[in-house]
């Protein structure tokens, strides 16, 4: 592993080519933090997860992975049906979160959502991708970085939100997916440029990539130094660049 620090990427959405480009630039011994939404929309979710697995990167779950895992694992039949509809869409149509993911694995829509999820889950298990997703966390934290997919509420302390995220992770390990944590789905959190009062690290988020020609942005403290807040998401499917944050420089590189 590189001694220089970490590289944070977010919202790859099946764009394995962009991930390869970043890995080639930094080297595969660099510590990568992948901030959620690696699946769906783009052309090759399968290869994207292959690369992440080979890198031994820290993968943070986004709302797309969370919904898919709920569709696979939720033990309550009514809640599982709701997750299936959110991920696959209603009526067996691919109009939910999922887009091109089944195709990238050589899978297809079956006669019903439960059957589709069953066979797709088997495919993920064989490739080691399901184990990778299920061991991933809802945030990454070290002395320099705090990485969450959508963001954090500035009305609550990080300690309180961390406790809620840890509780959601524990419930998921017991096959209970009650809802989408707002830290994974909230555009309000994603667009807030402040940090909770007890966060000292650089807070890095993605998720907010609803428009094209989006540019990654940073906010710096008045006294200088590393940024306090970084928003990295971009719309790769619209042809926008992938943004990478380098912890050792505080800079953003485009791919």
pTM, 2 dp: 0.93
The superfamily in CATH containing domain 6-254 is Metallo-dependent phosphatases (3.60.21.10)
Write the secondary structure of 56-81 as one string of H (helix), E (strand) and C (coil). CCEEECCHHHHHHHHHHHCCCHHHHH
Amino acid 128: pLDDT = 98
Residue written as token pair 């790769």: 236
Interior angle at CA 141, CA 135 and CA 142, nearest 5: 125
pLDDT score for 11: 96
pLDDT of residue 213: 57
Give domain limits for the chain: 6-254
pLDDT at residue 1, rounded to an integer:
40
Query: What is d(CA 85, CA 81) in angstroms, rounded to the nearest whole number?
Result: 6
Whose tokens are 């926008």? That residue is 240
Q: Are 202 and 146 in contact (CB under 8 A)?
A: yes
Per-residue confidence in pLDDT tens, the chain, 255 aa? 445 899 999 999 999 999 999 999 999 999 999 999 999 999 999 999 999 999 989 999 999 999 999 999 999 999 999 999 999 987 555 467 888 999 999 998 888 889 999 999 999 999 999 999 999 999 999 999 999 999 999 999 999 999 999 999 999 999 999 999 999 999 999 999 999 999 999 999 999 886 555 667 888 876 678 899 999 988 898 889 999 999 999 999 999
Q: Can you give the pLDDT at residue 237?
A: 86
- Position 215 scores a pLDDT of 67
DSSP symbol at 152: -
């Amino acid at each position: 592993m590189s001694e220089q620090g970490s590289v944070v990427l977010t919202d790859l959405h099946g764009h394995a080519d962009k991930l390869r480009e970043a890995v080639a630039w930094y080297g595969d011994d660099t510590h990568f933090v992948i901030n959620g939404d690696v699946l769906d929309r783009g052309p090759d979710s399968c290869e994207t997860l292959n690369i992440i697995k080979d890198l031994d990167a820290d993968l943070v779950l986004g709302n797309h992975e969370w919904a898919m895992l709920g569709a696979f694992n939720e033990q309550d039949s009514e809640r599982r049906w709701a997750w299936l509809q959110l991920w696959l869409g209603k009526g067996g149509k691919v109009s939910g979160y999922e887009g091109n993911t089944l195709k990238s694995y050589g899978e297809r829509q079956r006669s019903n959502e439960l059957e589709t999820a069953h066979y797709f889950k088997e495919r993920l298990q064989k490739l080691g991708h399901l184990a990778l997703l299920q061991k991933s966390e809802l945030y990454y934290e070290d002395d320099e970085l705090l990485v969450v997919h959508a963001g954090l509420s500035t009305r609550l302390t990080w300690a309180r939100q961390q406790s809620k995220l840890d509780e959601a992770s524990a419930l998921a390990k017991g096959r209970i997916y009650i809802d989408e944590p707002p830290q994974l789905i909230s555009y309000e959190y994603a667009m807030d440029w402040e940090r909770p009062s007890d966060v000292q690290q650089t807070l890095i988020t993605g998720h907010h990539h609803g428009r094209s020609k989006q540019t990654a942005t940073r906010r710096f403290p008045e006294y200088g130094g590393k940024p306090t807040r970084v928003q990295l998401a971009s719309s790769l499917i619209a042809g926008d660049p992938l943004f990478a944050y380098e912890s050792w420089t505080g800079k953003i590189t485009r791919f």
